[in-house]
Each structure stands twice: as C-alpha cells, then as structure tokens.
Amino acid sequence: VNFASDNAYGAMPEILASLARAGEGAARSYGDDETTARLRKRLSEIFEHEVFVYPVITGTAANALALATLAPPHGAIFCHAESHIAVDECGAPEFFTHGAKLVPLEGEHGKISPQAIEHALAHFQKGFVHHAQPAAISLTQASERGTVYARDELGAIADVARKHDLKLHVDGARFANALVSLKASPADLTWRAGVNVLSFGATKNGALGAEAVIFFHRQDVADFEYRRKKSGHLLSKMRFVSAQLDAYLEDGRWLKAASHANALARKLGEDLAKIPGAELASPVQANAVFARLPNQTIARLRKAGAVFYDWSPPAGGKTLIRLVLSFATSEEAVDRFIAAARG
Amino acid sequence: VNFASDNAYGAMPEILASLARAGEGAARSYGDDETTARLRKRLSEIFEHEVFVYPVITGTAANALALATLAPPHGAIFCHAESHIAVDECGAPEFFTHGAKLVPLEGEHGKISPQAIEHALAHFQKGFVHHAQPAAISLTQASERGTVYARDELGAIADVARKHDLKLHVDGARFANALVSLKASPADLTWRAGVNVLSFGATKNGALGAEAVIFFHRQDVADFEYRRKKSGHLLSKMRFVSAQLDAYLEDGRWLKAASHANALARKLGEDLAKIPGAELASPVQANAVFARLPNQTIARLRKAGAVFYDWSPPAGGKTLIRLVLSFATSEEAVDRFIAAARG
Amino acid sequence: VNFASDNAYGAMPEILASLARAGEGAARSYGDDETTARLRKRLSEIFEHEVFVYPVITGTAANALALATLAPPHGAIFCHAESHIAVDECGAPEFFTHGAKLVPLEGEHGKISPQAIEHALAHFQKGFVHHAQPAAISLTQASERGTVYARDELGAIADVARKHDLKLHVDGARFANALVSLKASPADLTWRAGVNVLSFGATKNGALGAEAVIFFHRQDVADFEYRRKKSGHLLSKMRFVSAQLDAYLEDGRWLKAASHANALARKLGEDLAKIPGAELASPVQANAVFARLPNQTIARLRKAGAVFYDWSPPAGGKTLIRLVLSFATSEEAVDRFIAAARG
Amino acid sequence: VNFASDNAYGAMPEILASLARAGEGAARSYGDDETTARLRKRLSEIFEHEVFVYPVITGTAANALALATLAPPHGAIFCHAESHIAVDECGAPEFFTHGAKLVPLEGEHGKISPQAIEHALAHFQKGFVHHAQPAAISLTQASERGTVYARDELGAIADVARKHDLKLHVDGARFANALVSLKASPADLTWRAGVNVLSFGATKNGALGAEAVIFFHRQDVADFEYRRKKSGHLLSKMRFVSAQLDAYLEDGRWLKAASHANALARKLGEDLAKIPGAELASPVQANAVFARLPNQTIARLRKAGAVFYDWSPPAGGKTLIRLVLSFATSEEAVDRFIAAARG
C-alpha cells in the first residue's frame, strides 16, 4: 500500500501505447509535429477557447516558466505559504523570474483568500521602486491540502487580480482532480474565471512525465518560447510528450482517472474518520486525505507496510499525515490500509 | 528521405518496450528508484570508473547544468564558435551559469585546437576582477561538423585545461558516434583523458528524450542536484528516463545504432564525392555529411522530396548542406538520395 | 523640521573636506590606493580583528553583495518580515544571489527571535533538493523599528546559526546608533558574537554615499570581489568612498554623530509620550521614534511643516508614524516638533 | 608622469566645491531633489531634446543597466571584441541582462563596422528560438583605442540598427573627448543619429564617481528604474552624484577638460612618432595614444618613473603601450615623458 504520492505510480497503458504510434516515421522536431498540433486542437476544444499550449516534462518547469512569463524580475507573486512553488521547487520561480519575490500567504486548508491577498497588497506601494511590484497571483487547484477552490472562490480571487492589474496563474498539477470534484467545465475554472495561464498536469494522473503550460490569451505568451528553450525545456522529439497528453485527454481518460482517485480518497477519508482517535485535518475534495492519527496507529500502519508521508512533526500524541490516492490505486489497497489502521 | 537531423526519427523499439517494464508497480520518485540505480551501475561498468549520473531530457539542459556546475557566474568557458552551446541554445549556458561568458573560438571542421585556447587565454588575466575568469573548456564529440577529436587531440586539450586549472566538459550529444568512429573506449575518451563531465546523449541515437550528465569525480558534482531541481529538470517519475538510457546501453544497442548511422554517412559521403561539382566540406567521421553541392543539384534533391538543411547561404553557385544519418535511416534512403543527386 | 529619514540630510563638513585631500595627485585605481589601505587599517583597529573591507555606495548593494557571498542560489536566508532586505530593496538579494529565498519572520519591534528562526527552520529539510537550503540569517542592528539587539539576544541568534551551520549577516545601516545605544564595542557586536559579515553604514550618519562590506574571516570573502565588479559596484576612484569612511571613523566622529541622533530621539520619544493621546509603539533605542498619534495631531504637525512618514494606514483615529533623527538634526527642531504636536 | 589611465587622477576643484553646496539643508532622497532636477534640465538643453537621466557611480553600472533595459535575457548584443563591456566588466552585462549574449566583433582601431555587424547578423535567424535574438548594438565613443566614430560612420551603424530593428547603445565613458574631437553637437552624436541610450561618463574626465544613463525616448526607459534599484545603484543622497554631473557640465567645464586632454594626446602622439623606432598603432583622435615602442625605450621610460600599461605582450622587439591623458595632466608631464623616451 503506497499512498506516498500520486507520482509513485507508473503510467496508463493507453499512454504508453501512444508513444509507439507517435514515434512512427520522420517528423518535424521541437513541436512542429502533427501530434503536437493534434494536442493543441484537442485542448482548444476541451477549453472551448483558443489556447496556446506548451508541453514540458515537470510541474516545476511549467510553474516557473509560466510565472517568469507573467512577472518581471522586480515583480511580486502572491501564493499560499504551503504551495508547491513556495516550498517544494527549491526556488525555481525565483531563478526563472530572475529574482522576483514570492509572497507567502497563510490560509486554511491550503487555500488563499481574497482578503489575505488584499491584506498583503496593502504593503506594496505601486510604482515605488523600493518595493517589489505586485505582478501575479498563483493558486493551486486542487490545493496541496487536497481541497479545491469553488467557482465563486476562484471568481473572488480573480476579482482581486483584475482590480490590482495582476495576472492569475493556476498550478494545476492536479487539475483533473479539481475538475471532477467541482463538476465544472475546464473553461469555467480557467479563462472564464479570469485565469491567464494554467500549469496543466498529467504526470501525477497517469502520464510518464507530461505537463502543459496553457495560455488563454496570445499576448500573455509574450517571450515564453524563448524562456522554454533557454531553460532547456524544449524537447527535440516533442511529439513524445504531446502524445502522452493527447492520449491522456482522449476519450475522457483523464477525468475517469481523476474520478477514480477522488472516489477512493473520499472513501478512505470516510473510513478513516470512523477510527477512534483519528480526525480529518482538511475536507477531502480531491485525491488526498490529510488526517491526524494517533502515533501508535501510524506505527502500526508502517509496520504493515503502508507507505505515506508525515506532514508535520508529531504533537500531542498524534501526527498529521498525508495519503495520496492515484489513478492506479485499487479499492482493495484502501481497504487494507483501513484494516491495518483499525489494528 | 529525411536527412534533416538525427532527431527527426522516433525511438528504438527496445527503448519503447523498456518504458512499460519500468512503470510497473509503485516506485520511489525523483530518481531513488531501481531503474535509475541499475543505470548508474551499468554506466560505471561501461566507463570502468565510478560515475555520478543524472538523467535529464534535453541536451541543452545537460550542457547548461554541467557548465553551471563547473563555472562560476564570473567564469569564462572556451568553446567552438559553431558549438551548440554557443549558437543553438538561446543562451542557456549564460542563464544557468548566472552570466558566465562563452568565449567563441574559430577552428577547422568544428574543432577547437589547443593553440586557439591558449591564444584566447592570453587575453584573460588571472585574479584580475575586471576579466571573466577562465573556468572551463567545452568541446563537442562528435563535433557539429561531423568530425571527431582523436585521442591525442583530446589529450592535448586536456593538457591545456590542466595547465590553466580549467575543467573539461564534453558535449556528447553524439558521443556514441564518436566512440565507434574512434574505436576507443568510453573511459579513454573521458576521465582517462581528463574530462570532468560529459553530456551523454541518447535522444539523437534512438531514445525518446534522454540524456545523462555524467561526472567522473564526486567533488565536481558540487551543487548539481540543487541546480537540476531549481531548473525544473528533476522528473518525479525519473525511472522513465533512466529506463530509456538503460535499454539504450543494454546489449551494446547504442554502439550498434551509432555504427549503423556512421556507416551510412561514410557511404553517403563517398558516393556524394563522386558526383560532378560536389565536394565534401569536412571529413566524414561520424553520422553527418557536410558537402558543397551545385545549387541545381540541391534544387533537384528538394524536388525529389529530400529533406535537409542548408548550412550556409549559397555562394559561387554552390551551397553548403548538412546531411544527418540516424539509427533509423535505411541504406536504401541513401541510395535514393544519391540517385536523385545524380539526376 | 524634516524627520522623514536620516538620509534627508547632507554630509558632515569633515567628510566633505576629506574628499579634496583624497583627490590629490595620481593614485592607483579600484581600491589599490593609500586611502583605502588606511581605512582598512583603521577598521581592523576599531574591530580589534583583521577585517576584509569593501567600500560600496549604497546599503542595498552592501546587503545584497554580502548575502550573495554567503548564500548559494538554492539557499534560504532568514530575516525579519519588515527588514530592509525583505521589503525595501526591490528584490536585490534575490537578484544578487541568483534566486535565493528570503524567509520573512514576524517579531516584535522589528527584531527576530531565536525561536522564530528555529520554528522556520523546522520547515526546511536539510539535503532535500526540493527545499531551499538554509544558508544565512540576516538581522538589522539597529532595527527598522529603532530597536537594538542586546548582546545576549545577538548571542542567542548566533547560537542558532552555529547549530544549524548558517552564516550570520548584520545589516548595520545604523550600526553606529546601535553601538552607542548598547555601549558595546564593535567587536562584541560582530565577530566575537559570531557575525560573519557586516554591512557597515555611514551614509545615514553623515557620509555622502559610503558603506562598507566588512568580513571577519578570509574564507567568508570567497568570490566577493568578482561579485562586486560584476554588479558595477567597484569604483575606479575608490579613494573617494574610502575617504568618506575614513573621515567618518576618525576621532570617533561616527560615534559622536550617532550619540547626538540617539539622544535627540530619546528626548523626542519622552516628550511625545507626554502628549495626550500619543503613545510610543516601540522602545526608543536608537535614532528613530515610532509613535501612534491622533490623526488631528498629525494633521497639525504636517500643517506646521513637519515632514515624516506614516508607517501604517490610519486605524482607530490614530496613525503609526516614524520620526528619524540624524547627525544633522538640531535640538531646536525637536522642540519645535513637540510644540507643534501640542498645538 | 602617470599615463596609466584617466581614472588615476582626482577630481576638478569645481566639482568638489559643488558637493558642499549640494549637501545644504534637508532634501528629498533617491533623486527627487532639486540638484537632480537641475541636472536633468541642463542635459535636456545640452542635448536639445527631452532626456531621461539616471545618475550612477560607475561606467560598468551605466553600461550594464542600459543594455539590460534594451535587451531581453534571450537577446544578443553586438559589440567590439575589445570593448569595455566585452572585456573589462567581468560579465556585468550578462549578469544584468540575465544571460543575454555579447557577440564580439573584430574591427580596426577599436571600431566596429556596419559590415561586421551585418556579417554577424547573418548567423542569427529571427524568431528561431534556438538562437539568441539580435537586440542591440553597443559602440564606444571614443573607443578603447582612442579613436572616434565620425558622424557618417555612426549613421551607417544606426542604419543597420534601424534595418534590423536593433536598439543602439553608446558607451560614452569618454563621450566629451569624442565630442570635442569631432566638433559635433551632443545631439548629432546621439538621438539625431539614432542612438537610444548613452552611458554618459564624467568620472574619467574629472568627477569623483559620476556617470549618467541618458535615454532619448521615454518608451526606451521601460523598467530601468526598477533595475537600478534592484542592483543597488539608486543612491539615497543622489544629489551628491547629480551635483558632480551638474558642475561638470556647467560653463562648458566638461568640454574644456576634454579639449585639454585631447590636445595633450595629439601633442604626445606627434612627438612620439618622431622618436626613432616608435610608431603610432592607431590614429590619435581622443585622449589616448597607442604606440609601439622599442622595448629598451619602454624600459628607459619606466626607469624614469613613467607609469603606463602594456597593451599587448612584447613582439619583435617592441611593445604596444597605451598612454592616457587626462583633464589633470600637464603639458610639462608630456614633455618630460618625451624627453625620457628620447633618452
């Protein structure tokens, strides 16, 4: 039972199969190929809008490239204090932006609020050269705490962005999980709400290594293509990344995989909540469960072979752990985990 | 007939097959997996030396990360004026090194000479803060002109490096082609000759997207791992890149593929040289042919559907073209090309 | 009455006079001159330790260069959330460090506590490439709130630095003010306490534009000299900056000026505290007074021509203002301010 | 006799005197002061055009900031292979531009030709993400070899810039020397000829440390002010730099000083050319003499106490030396030098 991360698992068979097809014959390199063109078309249909699509191979690259395109070196980017860009990318956004400043904001359940952004903005004087200049907001959908921004929550943040002339970035490493959780359309959670650029993840949900930076307006693309090349993220045989994304999207495969993982998370959360001494730390809205378990329960689980991360150090006899369910997790694994937790 | 580049073709079937195997079951992410461990072991055997191996997905990333690890921001890196790092990476080395200086050197057939390096070094005063400080030499094996550095040529450059306390980097995007051309061992062309780090390419020779940065001494690795992460080049499902490299190396597959491409290049070069008005511009030592052909011959080839690049603008009724042969090129394609060239 | 900043005033006459003397005859450029040598000697005496001294012309340059020398691009630097480096330098530390991360810490009266640092450190896993790596602590002496770190407070922070193998930087834009406030020796507030590098300010306390980056250990200097040149901060006629610093230090001029400013601040604080509705927001320990005054008092002061900054937006009928006293402020100005405040 | 550099000498008395005046009373900091406003007005008159003026303290800062404002990180900047930005700034342009590429061009007497630029441009494919994108031309007026670009030479380069949509930067560390040499107006040598931004030097010609970045069109200023702050080059007591520049320009002081230095250089050149075995290496058009002297003559000069730099290593019994004359050099020093050379 491995609930360490959704990147602990391999890839969907259909995605693997797509690679062989993509490699047939000679093709133009660096993304001028037919597979990439097909992907672009498919995404425009899915998003009901012309989109500008750039496949890359990691979420960190997608985020850092997107943010560097939105924010100048003297810019400030507002994000959750626990967000991947703030905590888990070794300062990639600072590197790619050439020294922009991430402004970490507190917020319950991994989400930032419009109020927190407004409060932080009050400390930045526009046009004052001593201050980094507010340039962008980045939020994570689904969040690092397995929660989602409902449409009105997203809209309220987009209002702040519009009011202060900030760009809006969404880290969608688990975008599919948010989508099926919210029963919303891709358009509703992005450009219709005011999102400028989306880091669209597929790796965690069944690809080998495939993400796409998706811009919704041509002018936002700016010098993105030079940044991608200059950072070594333009693959010569791009079609092999595009093929992953294309197979991922085909036949609603991405949504089915996310629904599966979300459903297991919901079940795991519900079952876990019934265990004496256990409590959910955040609502289960995507494919992760954050729970506080008694330390002896945790010890028992680990002894039984369960793999997962502590999210904070033990406190008061309990520890906050993170359990991530994936496209490849079986219901039986959840049952075994619960059984082991019950002891 | 597509001789545009060795990246125009897909991937070896055995490499594609290795991906499915690599994806089975849960695994540790970010390179702590068994496939990556096996690759590391295999490369240590091949190089007859403990090596420190970091798979990435593009040659630009491999080069820029390697150079940034060797050279400080105030460093100078000596390279050929036509080298990939100088011309074709949109300034990636400058970005990754935080502003180091590439010093472009002229040299016949895409190769730099010890004399050219010494001559350039004379312009840099050591310890003089106004000058960028010589830090590294980067050479390309096989070179952008399809030639190779013989062991004594490599040794002479390594002597310059040692004398001036410079690190030595080899851009081995086509390392396999050089190896079979020179009938040398991997060790002889690297650490035994004084090479500190190798960008070891597999993409052009049959992988989907897989290169490895290979250090030969632990102390040279320095902060490489942070640089890789900070630049978005650490894949969560690393095993899918490692698997490509592992299958590439297994059973001498990489050398067979390179031998095939080199042999076709040799044949193409020989046949081409016999065509009236054609002349080889550089010796054919790897998998590329550089030839000056009459413009009408070129027009005829293009009309027949041949795909290739002009290397310089037409001059004196002829044009210098580049023809690249790959692991996937057939002998029949070479014959058709020659037939079309003959008219 | 201008209490806006200690940089609103010109320069001490003796410092101006020193410039003419420094300019006589030909001299070696870029700091190899006698004035700079004399300054270095004088500072070594003052600090009772061999020091490595690099004059620059702004505090932002001093801080950013010092931090870039201490922290790698993947480093994390712990500082107060209101510190100059975090708030008022437009991201200069991020630029000079090539993307290191400032970690802003809350703390009363502009000071960070050892506990706050320890708490923040707990979120960074050493050697984990996804996390920025803790590299340095930066504190401001005297702080942005006009307070000082007592020797035991400084020592406790230095203990944290030692324990976690972090370098310790002090932003001493107002170091003289702290020194006379604490009646401590320069050595006690720096290397004896474990400080690695000091941004030693003179501009605010009577120079035209002169700061010095002072390292206390040769190995900490690392590649500082290249960084200074590469950022355009190496002056050809360095002697004119060194002369300012030398005249500043001569005859205890710096300490007298700081004592003067501190004494006026104390007096202003005491007098202000007696005004109905006024309250000090922080203890007055250096040359600044932070006070909450009724908005009508503030309006009256401004009408009377007093110049000063609001520190936060009005709240509850009062506003937090900052009043900075300088080497050039007269006691009479303080009296006039108080008279105007009384109305 | 010190002919090492024009930065070996101090400052004009009138410039020193201006500092005391500038420091009187309280003033707004960071350039919002009256002295800076007066400077801006004066420069607009001198250039017969609205100019956007930003004083800094080194030529390296002026150049690097100007170029970073003109060229994106993926840009290419064409300059002479011996130019200060290419050779003597430790890679400052690469740092400030975040990794743009300087393209070094050969050219006689320290000058680049339109042909050389066109030839280099032919290697860069516009819009091709693999290539750095041509962004700017930088030339030095007067050049590192003591020569000047005549108006038609400048115009021809500006034509290339316009044709290829490149910005044009002039490193005018010795702009005054060029101006009096060419008997041209400041406008003719800048905006009227198509120059976008000028690094206007005063340090070498009699200031303590004062240069100005001068833009001729508001849109070219772009985010310059943030770059200046972020690099630590915004002085709080800016008026002390502005005062230097203002006094430098007042009463044509700058032109008189440059005329003086140029006249001495001409005289030195003429007298030197008559010495047996000596030959001028470049025409003497500004305040520097480049001459090849017999090694024994050089030894005799050094023995007599003359200070100057070798420009290249001895060859064929002679050595190329550089002799720089300054605002503070006396005619008598020239005579003594010639006398010593004659032996």
Residues D117-142: tens digit of each pLDDT: 999 999 999 999 999 999 999 999 99
Contact B91/D100, CB-based, under 8 Å?
yes
Tokens 């997996």, located at residue = B33
What pLDDT does residue A313 have? 87
Distance from CA of B229 to the nearest CA of D (A): 19
DSSP annotation of A132: P
Distance from CA of B280 to the nearest CA of C (A): 45
Residues C304-331: tens digit of each pLDDT: 999 999 998 899 999 999 999 999 999 9
What pLDDT does residue D313 have? 87
Please give the full DSSP string across C128-151, using - where no structure is assigned. Answer: -TTSPEEEEEEEESS-TTS----H
Contact D226/A98, CB-based, under 8 Å?
no
SS3 A307: strand
B contacts of C130 (beta carbons < 8 Å): 229
Residues D8-21: tens digit of each pLDDT: 999 999 999 999 99
Give the integer Cα–Cα distance in Å for C197 and C195: 6
D219 pLDDT more than 90: yes
Interface of A with C (CB under 8 A): 73-74, 87-91, 94-95, 98-102, 104, 122-123, 129-132, 313
Residue of chain B minimizing CA distance to C235: B130
Pick A74's closest partner by Cβ from D73, D129, D226: D226
Average pLDDT of D24-45? 96
**Phi-psi domain of A98 (left: phi exceeds 0; alpha: psi -120 through 50; beta: other):** left
What pLDDT does residue B206 have? 97
What pLDDT does residue C313 have? 87
A contacts of D234 (beta carbons < 8 Å): 129
Phi, psi of D103 (to 5 degrees): -105, 105
What pLDDT does residue C214 have? 98
Of the pLDDT bands very low, low, confident and very high (cuts 50, 70, 90), residue D152 is: very high
Structure tokens at A193: 């709400």
Cα torsion A99, A104, A109, A111: sign: negative
B contacts of C98 (beta carbons < 8 Å): 73, 98
Residues B299-316: tens digit of each pLDDT: 999 999 999 999 988 999
B contacts of D95 (beta carbons < 8 Å): 73, 98-99
Phi, psi of C168 (to 5 degrees): -120, 120
Pick B229's closest partner by Cβ from C129, C225, C230: C129
Pick D16's closest partner by Cβ from C19, C27, C233: C19
Pick C237's closest partner by Cβ from D13, D65, D209: D209
C contacts of A129 (beta carbons < 8 Å): 90
On whether ipTM exceeds 0.95, the answer is: yes
> Largest Cα–Cα distance of chain A, in whole Å?
62
Contact C225/B72, CB-based, under 8 Å?
no
Residue of chain A minimizing CA distance to C102: A101
Give the integer Cα–Cα distance in Å for A290 and A303: 20
What pLDDT does residue A118 have? 98
Tokens 């007066």, located at residue = D38
Give the integer Cα–Cα distance in Å for A316 and B307: 69
Q: Do residues D58 and C234 lie in contact, with contact meaning Cβ atoms separated by under 8 Å?
A: yes
Q: Do residues D111 and D143 lie in contact, with contact meaning Cβ atoms separated by under 8 Å?
A: yes
Distance from CA of D108 to the nearest CA of A (A): 33
Q: Do residues B173 and B84 lie in contact, with contact meaning Cβ atoms separated by under 8 Å?
A: yes
D contacts of A72 (beta carbons < 8 Å): 223, 226
Contact C229/B73, CB-based, under 8 Å?
no
D297 pLDDT more than 90: yes
- Work out the mean pLDDT of chain C and round it to a whole number: 97
What pLDDT does residue C323 have? 97
C-alpha distances in Å from residue C254, one per residue of C12, C146, C185, D127:
10, 18, 13, 57
Residue of chain D minimizing CA distance to A68: D73
SS3 A102: strand
Which residues of chain B are under the pLDDT cut of 50?
none
D contacts of B125 (beta carbons < 8 Å): none
Neighbours of chain B (3+ CB pairs under 8 A): A, C, D
B contacts of A307 (beta carbons < 8 Å): 26
Give the integer Cα–Cα distance in Å for B206 and B15: 8
Phi, psi of D273 (to 5 degrees): -60, -25
What pLDDT does residue D343 have? 84
Neighbours of chain D (3+ CB pairs under 8 A): A, B, C
Cα torsion C76, C82, C84, C90: sign: positive
Which residues of chain C are under the pLDDT cut of 50?
none
Q: Which of D165, D172, D163, D170 is nearest to D135 (CA)?
A: D165
- Work out the mean pLDDT of chain D and round it to a whole number: 97
Residues D222-240: tens digit of each pLDDT: 999 999 999 999 999 999 9
> How do the pLDDT tens digits run along chain A, 343 residues long?
899 999 999 999 999 999 999 999 899 999 999 999 999 999 999 999 999 999 999 999 999 999 999 999 999 999 999 999 999 999 999 999 999 999 999 999 999 999 999 999 999 999 999 999 999 999 999 999 999 999 999 999 999 999 999 999 999 999 999 999 999 999 999 999 999 999 999 999 999 999 999 999 999 999 999 999 999 999 999 999 999 999 999 999 999 999 999 999 999 999 999 999 999 999 999 999 999 999 999 999 999 999 999 998 899 999 999 999 999 999 999 999 999 999 8
Give the integer Cα–Cα distance in Å for A273 and B65: 47
Judged on CB neighbours under 10 Å (0-12, 13-18, 19+), D116 is buried
Encoded amino acid at B206, one letter: G
